[in-house]
Every structure is written in C-alpha cells, then in structure tokens.
C-alpha cells in the first residue's frame, strides 16, 4: 500500500513539473518566434486584427511595465524579490489541491518564464498588443496570460469559499 502511495505521489509531482515546464516552454517558444522575426527587420510590429497586434517591447518594469528602473541595483533587487515570491508560491502550492493547485502551477510557470527573461535578457519580452476603440491595454506576453488566469481563478475560488 505504501508503494502505491509513493508511486501515485511521484506521478502527481511529475505531472506538476511537466505542467509548469509546458507553460514555461510555450512562453519561451512564443518569445523566440518574436525575437527571430525581429532580427529579420530590426524591430517587430504586425497587425493581426483591428484590435490585436504583435509589437515587441523590452519591459524592465514589474507588471505591465510599472516601476521601470534604469539602475541595475533596483532592477536586480526587484528580480531577486520576484524569485523569492516564486519560491513562496511553490511552498504554498504544495499544500493545495485540485483547481487551486493548477492555478498556482499556472502562476509558477508564467512567473518562471518572465524571471528567465529578467536574468537572461535583463528585460522581459512583451509583444501581445491589445486595443479596442480608444482603449489600449498594456503590451504583455504568454507568461502574463497564465499568471493572470491563475490569479483570477484563485480569486474566484476565494469568493466561492466565502459564499459556502
């Protein structure tokens, strides 16, 4: 019986690692494609629809370009703080189950994608540019989508818990 528990636990952990890696890989592939296309022209801008464009920007800030710093000290400090928050989320996720666990894994996978950029490129690659009439959203990336979805699901789960 203990062996079955151990085997199931290993499968569960392998699935969690695979899920985080899959999100990280989807982010890396999307950013690699944008970088490859930008090398051809020197920059990258592509109109997909009247409300969706691809526009490469290098984000040295936190979320959606907020708190962009020109000095490396602040940038590195924020990057290490983000790394510490990711570790904290990993610890919290170990105690979660079901949809809550998946939400945390989405946040972790997305956060690792952006953290990789911060250390490798010293900036996060953003390229999804959404606008509608006079409304223009911040330019973001695939990692941001997974982080946002994970956070939204966690918020909805909290509302559900409060209502029960």
CA distance 131 to 3: 54
126 is catalytic: yes
Identify the domain containing residue 106 by its residue range.
47-163
73-76 long-range contacts (CB < 8 A, ≥24 apart) are 75/118, 75/122
Mean pLDDT comparison of 72-86, 113-127, 128-142, highest-scoring range? 113-127
Question: Is the CB of residue 141 less than 8 Å from the CB of residue 153?
Answer: no
Helix axes 72-94, 98-120, angle to 10 degrees: 160
Closest CA to 105 of 52, 150, 162, 68: 150
Pick the catalytic residue: 27, 117, 129, 144?
A: 144
Closest CA to 24 of 119, 114, 118, 125: 114
Asked whether residue 135 is assigned to any structural domain, the reply reads yes
Asked whether residue 8 is assigned to any structural domain, the reply reads no
Rounded mean pLDDT, 90-107 = 95
Give 25 or 122, the one with higher predicted confidence.
25
Asked whether residue 3 is assigned to any structural domain, the reply reads no
Q: Can you say how many angstroms the Cα of residue 65 is from the centroid of all Cα atoms in its chain?
A: 14
pLDDT of amino acid 43: 75
129 is catalytic: no
pTM of the model: 0.85
Pick the catalytic residue: 27, 117, 126, 129?
A: 126
Asked whether residue 155 is assigned to any structural domain, the reply reads yes
pLDDT digits 0-9 by tens, 44-94 = 888 888 899 999 998 887 665 555 556 677 777 888 898 999 999 999 999
Average pLDDT, the chain: 88
Number of domains in the chain: 1
pLDDT of amino acid 148: 96
């Amino acid at each position: 019986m203990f062996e079955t528990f151990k085997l199931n636990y290993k499968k569960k952990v392998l699935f969690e690692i695979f899920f985080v890696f899959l999100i990280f890989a989807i982010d890396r592939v999307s950013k690699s494609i944008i970088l490859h296309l930008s090398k051809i022209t020197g920059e990258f801008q592509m109109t997909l629809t009247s409300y969706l464009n691809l526009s490469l920007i290098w984000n040295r800030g936190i979320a959606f370009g907020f708190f962009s710093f020109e000095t490396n000290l602040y940038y590195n400090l924020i990057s290490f703080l983000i790394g510490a928050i990711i570790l904290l989320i990993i610890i919290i996720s170990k105690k979660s189950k079901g949809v809550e666990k998946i939400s945390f894994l989405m946040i972790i996978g997305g956060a690792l994608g952006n953290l990789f950029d911060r250390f490798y490129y010293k900036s996060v690659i953003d390229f999804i540019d959404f606008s509608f009439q006079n409304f223009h959203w911040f330019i973001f990336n695939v990692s941001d989508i997974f982080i946002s979805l994970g956070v939204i699901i966690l918020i909805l789960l909290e509302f559900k818990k409060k209502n029960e």
